[in-house]
Amino acid sequence: MNHSELQDFLNAKAAHYESLSFIEDDPIKIPHLFSAKEDIEIIALLAATIAWGNRKSIIKSATKIAEFLDYQPAQFVKEHCDSDLKALPHFVHRTFMREDLQFFLQAMQNIYLTKGGLENAFYHKEGLKQGIEQWRNWMLETPHAKRSEKHLANPAKNSAAKRINMYLRWMVRPASKGVDFGLWKKIKPSDLYCPLDVHSGRVARKLALLTRQANDWKAAEELRLALVSLDESDPVKYDFALFGLGVYEKF
């Protein structure tokens, strides 16, 4: 395919998969249970953080977290005390455990009470990579077990930050199709990076959008430039196309 044909092909696939039917089987289903901005962004971060493995299992585990927080995530984060954290039930999703959940809730409390919230945490005038690193550093201001650090993506060490880039897509991209939320205005859709995993990476390489073989931050940067050439204002809409082609069409 030439550039124009590829653009038309991916535009059609993106439009097809970015629909309300996408929500039902995706972790984004969990933040769609809420309507208030802070509830959405908090539960969405937790759902995105555990978003690896079987999607049904992810949704089940994220639903448990919402239940633990009495479906009031913002209130819990802002107002909880140590006894509330200790009262949280046993929880395990792969390597994310109750201890990690407690840390995330404490760290987010610090961010809301002293930094102005999650949107501020991810916004950095130098760009989104620096924003993700800033969020990570702010989270780590809270006392934590060393093991919890692996749940915080680190682009500075060449992590592709797949789950965080997915979360940022949820928060930043327009809500016009009813899938993403468009809640954050400090970060532009044009600044986003595509969540890069085995499926999207494989499809991107087959379509010659990506040459780097490792799914790391350098690859995410390369893919971003390729997608910007197709739509400079909203390059990450093609996440829907790459995901759909990889997961549903086995492209």
Q: Of 239, 194, 234, 199, nearest to 217 (Cα)?
A: 194
Q: What is the pLDDT of residues 117-160, one digit of tens each?
A: 999 999 999 999 999 999 999 999 999 999 999 999 999 999 99
Rounded-to-integer distance, Cα 53 and Cα 69, Å: 23
Length, in residues, of the chain:
251
Taking residues 99-125, what's their average pLDDT?
98
133-156 in b/e burial notation, b at 16+ Cβ within 10 A?
A: bbbbebbeebebeeebeebbbbbe
Q: Are 95 and 148 in contact (CB under 8 A)?
A: no
Global pTM reads 0.96
């990076």: which residue's tokens?
Answer: 193
Q: Is 80 in contact with 109 (CB distance < 8 Å)? A: yes
The CA distance from 83 to 87, in Å, is: 6
Q: What CA–CA distance (Å, rounded) separates 32 from 180?
A: 9
For residues 17 and 25, the answer to whether their CB atoms sit within 8 Å is no
| pLDDT > 90? residue 226 | yes
CB 77 within 8 A of CB 44: no
Of 143, 148, 179, 158, give the one whose Cα is nearest residue 49: 148
Work out how many domains the chain is built from and give that number.
1
Lowest mean pLDDT among 52-56, 143-147, 169-173, 222-226: 52-56
pLDDT score of 251: 80
Rounded CA separation 59/118 (Å): 22
Asked which of 50-59, 161-170, 227-236 is least confident by mean pLDDT, the reply is 50-59
pLDDT at site 1: 83
- Per the structure, the complete domain to which residue 142 belongs is given by 3-248
**For the segment 156-212, what is each residue's pLDDT rounded down to a tens digit?**
999 999 999 999 999 999 999 999 999 999 999 999 999 999 999 999 999 999 999
